[in-house]
Chains A and B, each alone.
Chain A
Amino acid sequence: MSIFRRLLGRLGASLIVLIGVSMLIFFIARIIPGDPARIALGPRATDAQVEQMREALNLNEPIVVQYGLFMGDLVRGDLGISLYSNRPVMTDLVEYLPATLELVLLAGFMMVMIGLPLGAISARYRGRWPDNLVRVISLLAVSAPAFVWAVGLVLVFAYFTPLFPITGRISDTLEVERLTGFMLIDTLAAGRLDAFASALHHLILPAFALALSGIGQAARLTRSNMIATYEQPAIEMAQAYGFSEARIARRYAFKPSLIPSLTIIGLDFAALLGNAFLVEVIFAWPGLSRYGVGVILQKDLNAIVGTVLIISATFLIANIIVDFLVSVLNPRIRFSEDNK
């Protein structure tokens, strides 16, 4: 089966999942108590005003009809108006999603680039001091949630020793035209290296705080997978042929051990979108997670459904990418899928 056809199949399956998610979140949001129209209009609104608002939001229709109307708008790219910000939900998402994605992507990158090598070093020097060091660090990293690390990192690296800025996405004195909403891309597109450096500088600490427990997780998982790989006859065979230990670690032990680690990192990566909330609050990061919690507290129906759908879509895309990486790394998966 060609890669293209497999991709198409996965996208189709993802679409079905998204429709399921949209139904679920649409109904749950409407079942929980509290009248969105009253919350939006405030305590001084008259009953007539509330009723008018309910009519405008189609809240008096049967729930199935409401869903049908919602899907009809969604197909046209219209997620409705947010009662929280009084703007189209789509506009809000376009504004807030890039900030969170930038944060989460860098955090995911750190998980791969720091977590996997740490685990590999640990397995290669099993039982010796590098292993012990990595095990202590990774256990520490896993055992505290991201917001604890965020507070700790802010205190140490931004407050006591001001190496990094405490809040925001870029220095206040710099003004960069918004193109994609990704600060790193926009600054480069504007050809402003100073602004790019500033944006990266602002990004490192929150991304690292968000990534830390994932880094620990990836390191521990890679270590145990690689130790299991080292026990296999294929490694002894490589030793018997006199390949250097470094080459064996890199080519023969690390590659097969990557497969389970990548799968978990893919799931962790998607979970970061949700975990980002407290980190975004601490670093005053104008991201989607903060927006999502805001709209939930306001019972802003349209915005809740929109936010959840975007997060689910990101989750599904991340998993498709991971599955492809895994099938590239593992020929057994590639061939068993071909034989289907």
Chain B
Amino acid sequence: MPDPLTLDIKDLRLSFKNWSGTTEVLHGIDLRIAPGERVALVGESGSGKSVTSRIVLGTMQDVRTARVTGQVAFEGQDLSALTSSDRRALRGRDISMIFQDPTSALNPVFRIGELFQEVLKRRDPKVTKGEARAQAAKILHEVSIEDTDRVLDSYSFQLSGGMNQRVMIAMALINEPRLLLADEPGTALDVTVQAQTLAMMRDLVVQQGTSVLFISHNLGVVREFADRIYVIYQGRIVEHGATKELFDAPRHPYTRALLSAIPRLTGGGVPDIAERSPDFDDPFVDHAEVR
């Protein structure tokens, strides 16, 4: 079999059981990521992008009220067919994740060094404190942290948000996973710090050849980072294409609305876009097929 896709999602549906029956929130998502490819999933709050990442991570399948159907294949292996503990075995080793707010995601009662050791134990349960420290220091250097001893001996609340973000990127990539999920990375930080850390993250994943599913509500952030973009609206993919194509010639009305929402340095204030518009429900546009 020639080099299977890192991630191959077909007709993914998610619904939640509640007192009045079931509510479907994802209505058939298709999404592919090739090895080493950086793909963004962009949409507004509540569009279903975060739950998609939790399904790929394999934690949503364990939620008792959630029902997941369709195929989510990681390197040819359907995650939904695996047991909960087999899915767990993939996490932290083959699939890793970066969270929105680094300071609250890093556990406040452990030192950064201890957290690194915990993560390294996922790959090698017998890793010693010294080995873990050396490996952690090495990868911290790659995200431009120089005083690694101080950082490793600190608690997350003693470091700045930008520092924690770099720590989290380093932690997510230290086991050289094959797929990195980045859920709104750095949204809790200010824009310049966010841009810096994203550039570091890009360098590191390019170097390691990691595939990335980058989740964001901000097309502007994604532009520098992703090879391809999927735009998601209310649980459906509405447009898909290479980053350049999508920015140069957005064809779906919702994508155009999203693009116009990026603030520009030239001023003009925040554009007035509709909360809902009937043409947002237009059919799926795929640049790859048109081309």
Contacts and interface: CB of A to CB of B under 8 A. Distances in A.
Interface string A54-81: 0000000000000000000000000000
Interface of B: 57, 59, 88-93, 96-97, 99-101, 104-109, 111, 118-119, 122, 155, 157-158, 181
A237 B101 CA distance: 11
Contacts of A236: 59, 99, 105
Interface string A305-340: 000000000000000000000000111100100000
B108 A240 contact: no
Nearest to A253: B107
Given A240-B57, A242-B89, A255-B109, A332 B104 contact: no
Given A233-B101, A241-B122, A329 B109 contact: yes
A233 B59 CA distance: 14
A243 B118 contact: yes
Contacts, number: 64
17 contacts: A233-B99, A233-B100, A234-B105, A234-B108, A237-B97, A237-B107, A239-B91, A240-B99, A240-B181, A242-B91, A243-B122, A244-B88, A256-B108, A331-B109, A331-B155, A332-B155, A335-B155
Interface string A125-162: 00000000000000000000000000000000000000
Sorting the interface of chain A by its residue count into under 10, 10 to 19, 20 to 34 or 35 or more gives 20 to 34
Interface in A204-244: 232-234, 236-244
A252 interface: yes
A331 B105 CA distance: 16
Contact of B59 (A232, A240, A332): A240
A255 B110 CA distance: 10
Contact of A335 (B99, B107, B158): B158
A243 B101 CA distance: 20
A233 B108 contact: no
A192 to B, nearest CB: 44
Q: Which of A233, A237, A238, A256 has the most CB of B within 10 A?
A: A237
Contact of A243 (B92, B108, B109): B92
Contacts of A335: 155, 158
Interface in A108-137: none
Nearest to B111: A331
Contacts of A242: 88-93, 122
Interface string A176-200: 0000000000000000000000000
A234 B155 contact: no
Contacts of B104: 232-234
A252 B91 CA distance: 17
B106 A241 contact: no
A255 B119 CA distance: 18
Contact of A237 (B88, B99, B157, B158): B99
Given A332-B157, A335-B155, A240 B107 contact: no
Contacts of A239: 59, 91
A238 B158 CA distance: 20
B155 A241 contact: no
B92 A241 contact: yes
Contacts of B158: 335
Nearest to A330: B109
B79 to A, nearest CB: 13
Pick the 9 closest A-B CB pairs, nearest first.
A242-B91, A242-B92, A241-B92, A240-B97, A234-B107, A233-B105, A237-B105, A233-B104, A242-B88
Given A233-B99, A332-B155, A335-B155, A240 B91 contact: yes
A241 B109 contact: no
A232 B111 CA distance: 18
Nearest to B64: A127
A252 B107 contact: yes
Nearest to B53: A240
Nearest to B121: A243
Contacts of A331: 108-109, 111, 155, 157
B87 to A, nearest CB: 9
A256 B57 CA distance: 25
Interface string A87-116: 000000000000000000000000000000
Nearest to B103: A233
A252 B115 CA distance: 11
B136 to A, nearest CB: 14
B92 A240 contact: yes
B106 A237 contact: yes
Contacts of B91: 239-242
B88 A256 contact: no
Nearest to A259: B109
B50 to A, nearest CB: 11
